[in-house]
Each structure stands twice: as structure tokens, then as C-alpha cells.
Amino acid sequence: MSFIIPTKLYATKMTEAELKQEIAVMLFQKKKLGLGKASEFAGMNRVLFQHLLADRQIPAYEYDIKDYEHDIKTLRELGRL
């Protein structure tokens, strides 16, 4: 995929790689891309992209009470609790 960067964006003084990272983070936050696709779009491996998210205090994974309760139920069924 190619990008045509409008002249106005040159004022940001961002490199192409930085711009791709910003777009990937935004699309990830908006749940338009998952972690794997966002890291691929950013041109980074998954771990580095997760570090980028962590630096911005953006959780890479969502884990809510429903997930927790499901995990507890599963552990009980497996006899691990």
C-alpha cells in the first residue's frame, strides 16, 4: 500500500515510519485493527508494538470482569482451584 502524504503533514517533521506507527496506534485504539495487524502496519514486531502501546499507557489486551469470571469458572472445572 502506498501513501501520499499531504504537504501539510510535512510540518509534523515525522518520518514515514513514525507516521505509520501513529496511524497503527490510532486504528488499534479504535478497534479497527487487532494487535497483529496493527503491529504489521506499523512495521514493527508484536513485542515492540506492545512496548509502544505501553509507553502511551494503552492496554494491548482488554481483560474485564467477565473474562476474569470465565477464567475462574474454567479453572474450577479443571480442578485447579
Count of beta carbons in the 10 Å neighbourhood of residue 52: 20
- Which residue's entry shows cell 467477565? 66
Q: Are 27 and 41 in contact (CB under 8 A)?
A: yes
Q: Where are the domains of the chain?
A: 7-77
CA distance 27 to 29: 5
- SS3 (DSSP) at 14: coil
Q: Are 13 and 7 in contact (CB under 8 A)?
A: no
Quickly list DSSP for 27-58.
HHHTTSS-HHHHHHHHTS-HHHHHHHHHHTT-
Read off the pLDDT of residues 42-69 as tens digits, 9 standing for 90 and up.
Answer: 999 999 999 999 999 999 988 889 999 9
* Mean per-residue pLDDT, 64-75: 94
Query: What predicted TM-score, i.e. pTM, was given to this entire model?
Result: 0.72
Read off the pLDDT of residues 14-35 as tens digits, 9 standing for 90 and up.
Answer: 888 999 999 999 999 999 999 9
